[in-house]
Structure 1
Amino acid sequence: MTALVRAAALTNFSEVAQELGHDPAAALRKAGLRAALIRQPDQLIEAERVARLLEDAAHSTGCESFGLRVAARRQLSNFGIVSLLLMHQPTLRQVLLTLIEHLHLLNEQLAIQVEDVGKLVILREELLVAIEARQSIELAIGVLYRMGEALLGERWQPVGVSFTHEAPASLGFHRGFFKCRIEFDGSFNGLVCRAADLDVANPAADPVLADYARKMIEALPDDRQRAIDQEVRKAIYLMLPAGRATCKSVAQGLGMSVRTLQRELDGKSLNFKQLINEVRHELAPRYVANNRHSLGEVAAMLGYGSHSAFTRWFGIQFGCSPEAWRGGQSGVRKRKPLARP
């Protein structure tokens, strides 16, 4: 099943493209999309087309902050009917949990996880696409950051933001957008916040309106059932870099027993080991391509306890060692500084 995203994901794309001297209509046609389509926010379009469109726009304009510039213009209302439900949750933590519950209505390729680590909370965010999607990742994390601003105002003070990709040639726009520490070449994509900030009461919350919005959402036709294999893949994407992508942990995260999860996967002629391998196969080229990660770090990010085990797996999957692959790809994958900051 082709993963879909609401056309609202491209809200403000045209405005940002025009400001940077790019023809949005031509860019959309090249991506196989119609300009009229993105003016219908609830229209569903292929998630991978959106990712390619944003990458192409960043390259064509020479602007490495393209996705973040689109996020800077976003409003909570861009989530459609889900926005009404989000605005009236009692705390930001509950907003995030509610957003996760309804992600399948917004973007089937987006995965978010709320992880408590002592007095801090890590908001992990990943996109399940097989292509390089730096702009989409920055757009998604930027929108999440804007959501916190919209709900908490000046009380929204994240500790930091992390990206697994390398830093842009110019950090000016990123520093102006994220008013916190920014880490590139990190071990995960997402935000780090204080747990106390997520549990501050939302003074605008109205339980009556929240209940009304939930009933409206429940009444929506939903003929695209949430596939268990896609939900498991999302969980693996989020848990793998932290070394927690076990069958037990994933089952718990999905609110089911290990036996139930295995039975669900058996019904699709799948198994957990197979899905782990598929996710590793998608992530490994991205991680290995980044020279700032040692191959030992890459092995750990893919859930391997030793470099040798990772090397054996990589050789089977890609026909060479990770060292050879990195060396052979360095010439074509090395980032060239773009013309515009």
Structure 2
Amino acid sequence: MANRQRIQTPENGPDARAAALTSYPQVALRLGLNPHELMRRFGLDPATLMNREQRIPFSSLCRLLEATAAESSTPSVGIQMAEARTAFDFGVIGLLLAHKRTLREVLLAMVHYRHLLNDALGLYIETVGTQVIVREDNLCEIGVWPRQTMELAVGVLSRTCAAVLGPNWRPVSVHFSHSAPPDLRVHGRIFGCPLVFDSEFNGFICLASDLDQPNPMADPELVRYAEGLAESASAAGRQTVVAEVRNAIYLLLPVEQAAIEHVARHLYVSVRSLQRHLEEEGTTFSNLVDEVRQELAVRYMSNERYPIGRVAALLGYTQQASFTQWFSRRFGMAPRTWRANRQR
């Protein structure tokens, strides 16, 4: 895979706000570990806990939480951190979210200002009949599946929804793509709804009507004030067009919507404008789709729980034969052979 190209945010790849670690010390201490010692092991300065707006490498965050779970034999580290977090703990974005008119507006604002929260996690909202799927996706390769970080992200997102709707927040189900831990008591306490593990996505399903319930804390004046501050911060922090397009493809490919028209709509630009920007940066939309498809192919094929037919569908192929032809050209062997070689 030496020829694989990855367009990331500057220097150290995707990052996140140090606020992601807000509740880490108390959880680590509760589990009998030294939080500062563990943070230093993964290149994280404990002093960043005093500046929650500082950016930290996403890969370091993931590895820290996985090591904490392993060394404490506690697979619920991410969920415990989410439970200990304060609602709307997102800096200036938190002020904006807390006072939006509806949960739908809150989620759309999180999509719009994602680059100010976490460059490596994407949020996608899909309406299916009377229900809505809210999906969070890891958009980068870090060498280890960030189980704890995904549970932290989904837990914080669910708590944000609960803070907006109060007792009216009743998700249909919460989903995780990894397997279930032996003890689900903490998960049951924070989500209070059916849990689905080994799912095809990370996130939750709720009723479409929930998204349009009024937020009792709504305040348009505060929202306008916060939006001004957020846009100022965005001016210096936005990703390149290429990075934004790749992230959108990551989110839309598994739901068969990674056509350029859908991506352009997702990014609020016209197709022609999007093509022009990509040409200026020396690439094309089809090249980016192929790059992302290759990265996702490795991720999904490495997971034996995914049948090859399902991997084909997740990569946007309606026919498994077409996927096999593409995979063989790209990797030099058929999918079954590649998976067999990896198992050996």
Match of 2:224 among 211, 214, 218: 211
Match of 2:21 among 2, 10, 19: 10
Distance 2:184 2:338 in 1: 29
Aligned to 1:139: 152
Say which is worse superposed, 88-97 or 117-126, in terms of deviation: 117-126
- Does the Cα contact within 8 Å between 1:7 and 1:40 map onto a contact in 2? yes
Q: What is the CA distance between 1:24 and its match in structure 2?
A: 1.4
Q: Residues 255 and 135 (structure 1 numbering): CA distance in 2 closer, same or farther, change over 3 Å?
A: same
Distance 2:114 2:227 in 1: 14
Unaligned 5+ runs, structure 2: 1-9
Q: What is the CA distance between 1:237 and its match in structure 2?
A: 1.5
Q: What is the CA distance between 1:272 and its match in structure 2?
A: 1.4
SS of 2:45's partner is coil
The 5 A counterparts of 1:100-119 are 100-119=111-130
- Does the Cα contact within 8 Å between 1:185 and 1:293 map onto a contact in 2? no
Aligned to 1:190: 203
Aligned length: 331
Q: What is the CA distance between 1:218 and its match in structure 2?
A: 3.3
Q: Residues 84 and 193 (structure 1 numbering): CA distance in 2 closer, same or farther, change over 3 Å?
A: same
Unaligned 5+ runs, structure 1: 332-341
1:34 aligned onto 2:42: no
The 5 A counterparts of 1:1-341 are 1=10, 2-131=13-142, 132-220=145-233, 222-330=235-343
Q: Residues 124 and 145 (structure 1 numbering): CA distance in 2 closer, same or farther, change over 3 Å?
A: same
Residue 188 of structure 1 aligns with an amino acid whose one-letter code is: F
Distance 2:259 2:69 in 1: 36
Q: What is the CA distance between 1:33 and its match in structure 2?
A: 0.9
Q: What is the CA distance between 1:328 and its match in structure 2?
A: 4.1
Residue 114 of structure 1 aligns with an amino acid whose one-letter code is: I
TM-score, with structure 1 as normaliser: 0.90
Say which is worse superposed, 137-146 or 225-234, in terms of deviation: 225-234
User: What percentage of aligned pairs have identical amino acids?
Assistant: 43
Q: Provide the aligned C-alpha RMSD in A.
A: 1.9
- Does the Cα contact within 8 Å between 2:17 and 2:117 map onto a contact in 1? yes
Q: 1:73-121 CA distances to partner (integer Å, 9 max, x unpaired)?
A: 1122410111111111111111111122211111112211222222111
Say which is worse superposed, 284-293 or 126-135, in terms of deviation: 284-293
Q: Residues 268 and 214 (structure 1 numbering): CA distance in 2 closer, same or farther, change over 3 Å?
A: same
Q: Residues 35 and 197 (structure 1 numbering): CA distance in 2 closer, same or farther, change over 3 Å?
A: same
Q: Residues 232 and 76 (structure 1 numbering): CA distance in 2 closer, same or farther, change over 3 Å?
A: same
Distance 1:320 1:167 in 2: 33
- Does the Cα contact within 8 Å between 2:116 and 2:237 map onto a contact in 1? no
Q: Residues 166 and 319 (structure 1 numbering): CA distance in 2 closer, same or farther, change over 3 Å?
A: farther
Distance 1:276 1:287 in 2: 16
Residue 149 of structure 2 aligns with an amino acid whose one-letter code is: S
Q: 1:206-227 CA distances to partner (integer Å, 9 max, x unpaired)?
A: 1122222222333447423331
TM-score, with structure 2 as normaliser: 0.90
